[in-house]
Amino acid sequence: MAEMMELIKSRRSLRAPYDRGRPVEPEKLAQILEAARWSPTAHNMQNFEIVVVDDPGVLDAIARIERPVSETFIRENYAQLSFSEEELLQRKTGVLGSMFPPSWRRPDFRLDELDAEEVAAMRRPLPASPLLLVVVYDPSRRAPASEGDFLGIVSLGCVMENMWLATESLGIAMHIVSSLSSGGEVKEILGIPKRLTIAFSCRLGYPESPPPTYLRVRREVADFTHHNRYRD
């Protein structure tokens, strides 16, 4: 149990560039896919497919895709930012503002008012990695009687966590890149049929240099636990 808790707590997002010259070993990739295979899914629908991308040309084509950020994202992101470690420790949710370009940290952000430098900062290229796993949601394998296939979507989170814990136990870094899910370009490059949706993509690999550390916070157990009756 102690080991499992250690694994759960040490799993983290590693957003730095990964060494393109150091591939993820095939046997480790096989174990990550095996972890995905045994994920719990609602009604055992196994409503996912995984595209393994390790071809440098395909990785480059995906990295070149522009990933526009919406004003809605910036506005809602701003509400979750802390501007110091002390503030983040106090809030216990959200992320540090220093993760984002300066223009994203302004309450009055307006896309149409950015100067050229700020626009360039928003087009940050996808950090390097030798491997990208694109997890695809198949809505036709729907959980029975689940409105909006809510349970099917929850199931994809189980797939993500199984994969993430497997990478952590294998000493491989992982970074979820949600922005590759929107727009059709990744689907087009990978030949993913229109009827399927990209659930999430993750970069995998070994960091180019020692990974940066950053403050990670969580609410206390007592903050989200309700005994016998929900209390506001």
Provide the binding-site residues for ligand FMN, judged by CB under 6 A.
12-13, 15, 95, 175-179, 216
Q: Residue 228 Cβ, how far from ligand FMN at the closest point, in Å? A: 29
Instruction: Specify burial of residue 32 (Cβ count, 10 A radius: 0-12, 13-18, 19+).
Output: buried
Closest residue to bound ligand FMN by CB: 178
CB nearer to ligand FMN: pick between 96 and 230: 96
Helices 150-170 + 26-37 axis angle, to 10: 150
In whole angstroms, what is the distance from residue 193 CA to residue 128 CA? 26
Q: Residue 26 Cβ, how far from ligand FMN at the closest point, in Å? A: 26
CB nearer to ligand FMN: pick between 75 and 216: 216
Q: Residue 153 Cβ, how far from ligand FMN at the closest point, in Å? A: 10
CB nearer to ligand FMN: pick between 5 and 113: 5
Q: How many residues appear in the chain?
A: 232
Q: Look up residue 33 and give its two tokens.
A: 């896919």
CB nearer to ligand FMN: pick between 26 and 171: 171
CB nearer to ligand FMN: pick between 59 and 180: 180
Q: Residue 25 Cβ, how far from ligand FMN at the closest point, in Å? A: 23
DSSP state of 112: G
Determine how many CB atoms are found less than 10 A away from the CB of residue 88: 20
Q: Residue 95 Cβ, how far from ligand FMN at the closest point, in Å? A: 5
CB nearer to ligand FMN: pick between 21 and 73: 73
Give the residues across from 197 on adjacent strands: 137
Q: Residue 27 Cβ, how far from ligand FMN at the closest point, in Å? A: 25
Instruction: Specify burial of residue 161 (Cβ count, 10 A radius: 0-12, 13-18, 19+).
Output: middle
Spatial CA neighbour of 180 closest among 188, 172, 171: 188
- Reduced DSSP (H G I as helix, E B as strand, rest coil) percent helix, strand, coil of the chain, to 5: 45, 15, 40
